[in-house]
Structure 1
């Protein structure tokens, strides 16, 4: 059974844990390699696996004036992807100024050992933790002898691959290269949000859309354009065509995310839904008339239906 916790004391004390920790933003293929190793190691030891991650992102706390930082996954999207890989527990620790002042020794003794009963910690050679990032791999080796737990190092090549992949994914999403981003993530890039009231212009031309407010303000929004994909709403999947942008033909000003769901006709205002972006179709453009826009939307819709497979 997989479970999500926000306090170390809540994690079941069934047996010692195999633990890894980090932001794991995007849970891309590099991350997945590490997490699958943690799962396999826990099974070999006949115990459970745990990911410790943080919310908000540590950089938002230690760099409060950073306005550029954007996440590849919300905390909920991250947990869902991690559980899909077989991790038993996810612990989301609130990253606060107070937490950032913990010494490495206090973190290990009070959280990893006392509250989580660590068996093995799997960590990168370049991992730093504790006040002023003063704890590192060697700190864990030293403390493991004191507290009797094992430490496994993630190879440097894997750590470097993770860093490079995260950068490439962000660049790809910002440059309309959705295919490249999805290849690195290992699944379609997703946006999670709530359906809000819009101007209902789509309904007037025969294409009603769900206007989506992205719940995480730091979520990376891909480049403007039209996308084919899948929408998950009320645990059901529907093909969709989605526009991200400012709707220049109707003199839009604010960025909006609008999705037209095929074979769907239901009032879903206020509903929580997830968009999976499968393929980038074209960039956003301003048409000479509403009729020209409608003609292009018809072509977009046909292309999206042909490209997307729900199986």
Structure 2
């Protein structure tokens, strides 16, 4: 898959089959659209997704609090897995939002993308102030010689409802429901950094995950069963998201204790897949009581892993 960091960077000698949107999560609903996109290509055309960053709500509504299911890199990884040829990530700004519908169609879809077909939701609106709709797009298609294929209301409902359910499920700690809607295990990617190293003193050394993208949605605080690929091998573990109240922690941390692994992960990038939630974060009366609970958590995690295999 080729990645382009702006519309102007895109170059092709083929025609394109295009869809556009945020595609946050690249979940089961999105995948149906991507599958249709890829199936529509032939020897003369390539599939293309146009997406934007920052999220339009961040720019137009000043919504810096919005949390997304994927970072840009995670989204690219998932789209490539689904067979996409081209991903264009355009920097969204107010100037772009002021393009008229015809400017967007003529200057971008036709002149740059060499569009042959667009696959889009029946309720999609575009152009300055979002005034143009699917009927306008069909008119433009006839004028500029490209097809318009509508995604049915039923499919759009599936896409939007599952996105909402995924976010709500993660914020509620219902990781298994979120994973069902995603079609894969929700994951976090980041770098392992040094922490207070308390876990090491009580027999549960942890890797502290630092995520640089502050817009990434972090699930509800608590203890989770997780897995990662380390040195080409799947390693299971348990992860705590929270404030470490037993030792009066002041900041939210993400700490993973890997089973059957002993090695240096500092400064290494890692992907952590979240499989199940065990319990809420608790404050224990002593570090010894915390240690006892962690032993129970490990037993619970290993039982879940055994049944999952």
The answer to whether the superposition gives a TM-score over 0.5 is yes
More deviation in 297-306 or 151-160? 297-306
- Residue 308 of structure 1 and its aligned partner are, at CA, apart by 3.1
Give the equivalent residue in structure 2 for 1:50.
48
Counterparts of 2:91 and 2:159 in 1: how far apart (Å)?
24
Give the equivalent residue in structure 2 for 1:27.
26
Note the residue ranges of structure 2 that are not aligned, 5 or more in a row. Answer: none
| Structure 2 residue matching 1:229: 3-state secondary structure | strand
Give the equivalent residue in structure 1 for 2:107.
110
Count residues in correspondence: 308
CA-based RMSD of the aligned residues comes to: 1.8
Deviations 1:205-253 (Å, cap 9, x if unpaired)?
Answer: 1211111111211111111111001124565532121000111111112
User: When the two structures are superposed, what TM-score results if normalisation uses the length of structure 2?
Assistant: 0.94
> Runs of 4 or more off by more than 6 Å in structure 1?
none
8 Å CA contact 1:6–1:92 kept in 2: the answer is yes
Deviations 1:50-79 (Å, cap 9, x if unpaired)?
Answer: 111111111000011x24411111111111
Counterparts of 1:251 and 1:200 in 2: how far apart (Å)?
14
8 Å CA contact 2:11–2:112 kept in 1: the answer is no
Counterparts of 1:112 and 1:149 in 2: how far apart (Å)?
10
Give the equivalent residue in structure 2 for 1:213.
210
User: When the two structures are superposed, what TM-score results if normalisation uses the length of structure 1?
Assistant: 0.93
8 Å CA contact 1:233–1:274 kept in 2: the answer is no
| Structure 1 residue matching 2:41: 3-state secondary structure | helix
Q: Judging changes above 3 Å, is the alpha-carbon distance between structure 1 residues 308 and 51 closer, same or farther for their aligned structure 2 residues?
A: farther
| Structure 1 residue matching 2:14: 3-state secondary structure | coil
- Paired residue for 2:76, among 76, 79, 85? 79
- Residue 46 of structure 1 and its aligned partner are, at CA, apart by 5.3
- Paired residue for 1:94, among 91, 95, 112? 91
Q: Judging changes above 3 Å, is the alpha-carbon distance between structure 1 residues 117 and 192 closer, same or farther for their aligned structure 2 residues?
A: same
Give the equivalent residue in structure 2 for 1:63.
61
Counterparts of 2:49 and 2:232 in 1: how far apart (Å)?
26
Give the equivalent residue in structure 2 for 1:4.
3
8 Å CA contact 1:140–1:151 kept in 2: the answer is yes
8 Å CA contact 1:248–1:286 kept in 2: the answer is yes
Q: Judging changes above 3 Å, is the alpha-carbon distance between structure 1 residues 36 and 196 closer, same or farther for their aligned structure 2 residues?
A: same
Counterparts of 1:270 and 1:231 in 2: how far apart (Å)?
16
